[in-house]
Structure 1
Amino acid sequence: GTATVDVEMLLWLIGASVFIAAAGYIINDYFDLNIDLVNKPDKLVVAKVINRRWVILWHLLLSLIGLLLSGYVSIKLDSYWLTIANAACIVLLFIYSMSLKKQLLSGNLLISLLTAWVILVLALAEMHSISTEPIAIQEAHRKIFRLGVLYAGFAFIISLIREVVKDMEDREGDRRHGCKTMPIAWGMNATKVFVAVWIIVLIAVLLVLQVYVVSQFQWWISALYCVVAIVVPLLMVLRKLYPAQSPAEFHRLSTMIKLVMLTGILSVVFFYFYI
C-alpha cells in the first residue's frame, strides 16, 4: 500500500541526497587541493586517487544522478519543489567549494543548513500527501514532520559545531591560502567560545526535551540513551575544547562530534517503537 510507496520514495530521496553530497565532497576536494596539501597531505582523494581532470566529470555525473533521483521522486509525488531544491543544493555546494568556504561563517552556515535540509526534505516529503488521508494518519504524519524538524535542528547545530572545529584543525593551510575562517578572523579563543556556546545550547535543548518526553510519555529508555550517547559525549567535547591546541587534538574532537551525529541519528530508532 501507500506505506511501502512512502518508504520507497524516502529511500530514493535519501539516495538523491547521498549522490549530491558525494558530488559536493568531490568538488570541494578539487578546489581544496592546495590547502589540503598543507593540512592533510596523506588524505588527498583528488590528484592521488582521482585525476583532477576526471573530478569535474565525476562531480557532474554524481550531481546528475542525484537530480534524476530527485526528479523521479518529484514525478511520483507530483511535487516539483524537490528537484528544484536539490538542484539549488548542487549549485550552493559548488559555490561553497569555490569561494564561500574561504569566508567567515557563511560557508559553515551553508553546510549546516544543507545538512539540516537533507533531513527536512524527508519530513516535507512525509507531509506531502497528508490532505487526502484519514485524520488519524494525518496526525501521525504531523508527528513525523515535527520530529523531522527537531532532527533537522539537531543536524544544523551539530554540523555548525563540527565545521568550526574543522576550521580550527585546518587553520594552518587555510591561513596560507588567504581563507578568512573563524579561527583566522576571530582568533582561537573567540572561536572556542563560539563552539562552546553552541554545545551548551545543544545540551540544554536536549535535556529540556528529555524532561518533556519523560514527563509526558515516560520514555525513560530513549531519555537515558540521549544522556549517555549524546549529552555525555558533548560534555566531553566541551571539556577537551579549551585545552586543545594541535590539529591532532581538534581532529579527535571532530571525530567525537561525528560520533555524536551518528548516535543522534540512530536515536530515530526509538520512535519506531514509541510512535
Structure 2
Amino acid sequence: MKLIKAFFRLVRWPNLVFIALTQVLFAYCIYDKIYAGSEAHLLSAVHFIYLVLASVFIAAAGYIINDYFDLNIDQVNKPDKVVVNAIISRRWVIFWHMFLSLTGMCFTMAALPLRGYWHLILGNLASILLLWFYSTTLKKKLLIGNVLISLLTAWVILILFLAQHPLHFSSLLKVDQHEIRFFRFTILYAAFAFVISLVREVVKDMEDLEGDRKYGCRTMPIVWGVQASKLFAAVWLAVLITALSILQFYILPFGWWPSAVYCLLLVILPLIWILVKLGKATSPADFHRLSTVIKLVMLTGILSMVFFRYYL
C-alpha cells in the first residue's frame, strides 16, 4: 500500500485528474454546444478517451522524470515528500517514465489517424522530449523552463482544437462561424492556462529558492532576485485580472449574470488576494500557500466552462 501511495504521489495524481477534467469539460461544455446539430465531430467517444489518456500518461511521465532529476534539490526543499530512491528505486522510476511515455504515444496514435493529424502526433512526441530536457536542463535556466511548462499547459486545450482540423490545405478554406467561435474559446482558455501557469511556476521558483541555489540553478529569483520575480508575477496577475474583468463587462449584456458572479467571486477576487499576498510573502511557506491558491484558481477557472453548456 505504501508503494502504491508513493507511485500516485510521484505522478501527481491530482494534476492528472485536473488535466482529464479540463479536456472533458472543454469537449462537452464548449465543443459539443458550438457544434450542436452540425455534422462536424471532434473525435468519436472512444478516440476522445484515447486522446485524454494520452495527455494524462505523458504528463505523468513528465512528473516522474522531473522528480528523478530533482532528487538532490527535493532533498533540500521538501525532504519529507521525496519518493525517488526513498520509496521507489531510481531504476523503477526510469522504467515507469519510459513505460508511461510509450503508452501515451500509443494512445495518441490510436486516437489520431496518421493521415492529416501527424502534426499532433509529433506535438505529443515533442512534449515528451521537451519534458525530459526541461527536467535535465531547461528548468535550471532563466525563464525558459517556466515558459515551456506554461506552453505545455496550454497545449492540453490547444490539442483539442487542432484535433478538429486535419492538416489539409482544403480544410483551411472551410472556415465558418462555428470554427471562429470554437477558436475564440480555445484562445481564451489556453491563454488563461498559460498565464496562470507562468505565474505559478515563478512562485514555485521563489518557494524552492534555497535548494535551487545550492545546486547551481539559474531560476528567476536567483538571477533577478526575489523582488524582481515578485514584480514579474504581479504584472502577469494584473494583466489576467484586467482581461477577465473586461470580459465580464462584455458578457453582461447577454444576461450571463451567474457566470459573471462566479468569475468575480471564484476567479478575479482570489487573483486579487494572491496579488496582495504576493507582495507580503517572504518565506517558503508563504510562497507554498500562494502556489496552492493559484492551483485552486486554475481549477475554478476551468470549471467555468460548465456555464457555456447552458449559455451557448
TM value normalised by structure 2: 0.82
Q: 1:78, CA displacement in angstroms?
A: 4.3
The CA deviation string for residues 119-164 of structure 1, in whole angstroms up to 9 with x for no partner, is: 11112213449978xx9x9533432232111100000000000000
Matched, 1:231 2:268: yes
Report the equivalent of 2:232. 194
Contact 1:115–1:155 (Cα < 8 Å) also in 2: yes
Report the equivalent of 2:16. none
CA distance in structure 2 between the partners assigned to 1:146 and 1:4 by the alignment:
16
Moved more, 79-88 or 2-11: 2-11
Paired residue type of 1:245: T
Matched, 1:179 2:217: yes
Report the equivalent of 2:48. 10
Contact 1:237–1:257 (Cα < 8 Å) also in 2: yes
Q: 1:67 aligns with which of 80, 105, 116?
A: 105
CA distance in structure 1 between the partners assigned to 2:286 and 2:166 by the alignment:
44
Matched, 1:140 2:178: yes
Matched, 1:220 2:220: no
Q: 1:99, CA displacement in angstroms?
A: 0.4
Q: 1:35, CA displacement in angstroms?
A: 0.2
Matched, 1:211 2:249: yes
Report the equivalent of 1:245. 282
Report the equivalent of 1:159. 197
Distance 1:9 1:260, change over 3 A: same
TM value normalised by structure 1: 0.92
Report the equivalent of 1:101. 139
Moved more, 159-168 or 68-77: 68-77
Percent of pairs with identical residues? 57
- Count residues with an aligned counterpart: 271
Contact 2:120–2:162 (Cα < 8 Å) also in 1: no
CA distance in structure 1 between the partners assigned to 2:167 and 2:134 by the alignment:
33
CA distance in structure 2 between the partners assigned to 1:47 and 1:81 by the alignment:
37
What are the ranges of 5 or more consecutive residues in structure 1 without an aligned counterpart? none
Report the equivalent of 1:265. 302
CA distance in structure 2 between the partners assigned to 1:105 and 1:29 by the alignment:
20
Contact 2:117–2:167 (Cα < 8 Å) also in 1: no
CA distance in structure 1 between the partners assigned to 2:40 and 2:234 by the alignment:
44
Q: 1:76, CA displacement in angstroms?
A: 7.9
Q: 1:183, CA displacement in angstroms?
A: 0.6
Report the equivalent of 1:92. 130
Q: 1:172, CA displacement in angstroms?
A: 0.4
Q: 1:8, CA displacement in angstroms?
A: 3.8
Contact 2:42–2:164 (Cα < 8 Å) also in 1: no
Paired residue type of 1:149: I
Q: 2:88 aligns with which of 50, 54, 57?
A: 50
Contact 1:71–1:82 (Cα < 8 Å) also in 2: no
CA RMSD of aligned residues (A): 2.1
Contact 2:43–2:163 (Cα < 8 Å) also in 1: no
Moved more, 217-226 or 175-184: 217-226
Report the equivalent of 1:113. 151
The CA deviation string for residues 85-115 of structure 1, in whole angstroms up to 9 with x for no partner, is: 1000000000000000001000000000110
CA distance in structure 2 between the partners assigned to 1:179 and 1:149 by the alignment:
32
Q: Secondary structure at the match of 1:242?
A: helix
Distance 1:143 1:10, change over 3 A: farther
What are the ranges of 5 or more consecutive residues in structure 2 without an aligned counterpart? 1-38
